[in-house]
Amino acid sequence: MSGNEGLLSSNSEQRFYQGLAATCIANCLQAANFLSDRFLRRAYYAPAKIEELYRHSMDSAFSLREAFLVTGAPHASAYYPRDFAWFYPDVLDPQTIIDSEDATRRIRLLERSVRLMLGAVRSGIITTTLIPVKRNRYIGANYFALPSDTLLGVQGGLEQIIRADFRASPHADMGKAAQTGRALLTEYRADLKRSLLDLAGSLEPYDGYGIRTLLCDVRAPRSAATDTRAERLRFVTNASVYATFQQSIRLGIVDQNELEEILGRSLSEYKTELLQLFGRDGYIKHSLDCDAGSPAFSIALDFVNVQHGFWDFSNDEERTLFSATADLILAEPRFRIPDTFHFFVSADNPRKKLIHRIATPSYQGRSAWPTFNVEFADRMLEYDEFSRVERYRPYAREILRHIHHATETHGGYQELLSENGLQYRTWAYRGAIAHSWFPRFLTVWSRAYGVPLIDWTQPAADKAFT
């Protein structure tokens, strides 16, 4: 069977499709879903205190009716493997779990989600999106470009299950989940390794600015979480590939020497080349194709990448580049909603395709994504830890405090906010309350403030909200 067209099977229960015809069907299903959501979905629930909103979000995100962990409306009809790296890394953090019932539901959905994603990998489906067409039938489709971070997400979901029992938890199911994760790794290791080596072999040589390296998007764009930019030679896409390699070694999927033989360089050399290439001006430029003269228009907030991703702050050069880029974002008024600590994806809109100009203007430019802001805060906290200087913690706390306020004001954890700090809406997009992204916020809050935002171990009457 062809790997690009027609029916692909991973096992007797699931079947996956891809190809031109399948993508057309997927696009129609997605368009119908978004338009029906825009005109038929009821208004958001009223503003409320953070605990009430969080309980509602967890009931929605981990509903027994769901077959897969999803973001929330209008994305509930499609599944995004990359989200397990970018947005779901703390689903099983014990501090974010309300009670044993909540824990059981999370474990159930995470296991089902990872099994589905691994089935897709076994079938050769490495796409940005999986769209259900009927029971146990899925279409793998790419929106805008081939992905650079799908394997990162698949491995991230698997790693989270494997590490379920690494943190002390009162919930006994965590140990069983870890055993399941290790069994899944054993079952699908060969499939993941094949896909990892294919990814490494697909990188192309790039020679520019006196630096020779390998990039994933030399000839055409590759997508990451901000996948509508439609640009080549982006930092975040290549940082995601590096993070995927590191994660695969950490999980024991591929041997480092075997991977480095394909790359023709050590992983440390590969990372150094990327830092030198994208940081040649003293800060991390989001794309080598960017012609903007001002640094503020040459960087993007997604440079922070994912938890346990590109940045490990292991040397002075890396810390200097991160700090310089963070300082540019913090100091530039055009990078934030006025009078807030909500930072935009970029200081101006990047180039966009026609659909973005018509249906979702500013979606990846002049809009503030709470989740990218949370990762920005988390990377700044990591910088302080490795540099042993309390430099960025106050900024991280302000970012989180403003997300807390926006969540209570708008009645739920937002996928993104408009340029004016309101719920993001266009004629074709009503916006989304990102229920399943909420736990990540609580985890980073605890790291920034040293205490949980909501302490589920205390009786309700004794809880205090920061």
The alpha carbons of the chain give a radius of gyration, in whole angstroms, of: 21
Residue 227 pLDDT class (50, 70, 90 cuts) = low
| Mean pLDDT confidence for 339-364 | 78
User: For residue 244, what are its two tokens?
Assistant: 């995927």
Least confident of 167-176, 233-242, 381-390: 167-176
Least confident of 59-68, 270-279, 397-406, 448-457: 59-68
Residue 461 pLDDT class (50, 70, 90 cuts) = very low
Show Cβ contacts of residue 184 under 8 Å, excluding neighbours closer than 6 positions: 114, 115, 118, 158, 161
Residue 429 pLDDT class (50, 70, 90 cuts) = confident
| Mean pLDDT confidence for 371-384 | 96
| Mean pLDDT confidence for 293-313 | 90
> Residue 368 above 50 pLDDT?
yes
- The per-residue pLDDT for range 159-173, each reduced to its tens digit, is 999 999 888 888 888
Least confident of 14-23, 53-62, 270-279: 14-23
Q: What is the pLDDT of residue 351?
A: 62
- The per-residue pLDDT for range 193-210, each reduced to its tens digit, is 999 999 999 999 999 888
In the CATH hierarchy, which top-level class contains the domain 15-449? mainly alpha
Of 258, 69, 250, the C-alpha closest to 159 is 250
For residue 83, CA distances in Å to 41, 47, 89 come to: 23, 26, 8
CB 78 within 8 A of CB 37: no
Task: Output the pTM of the full model.
Answer: 0.91
Q: What is the pLDDT of residue 5?
A: 39
Q: In the chain, where are the structural domains located?
A: 15-449
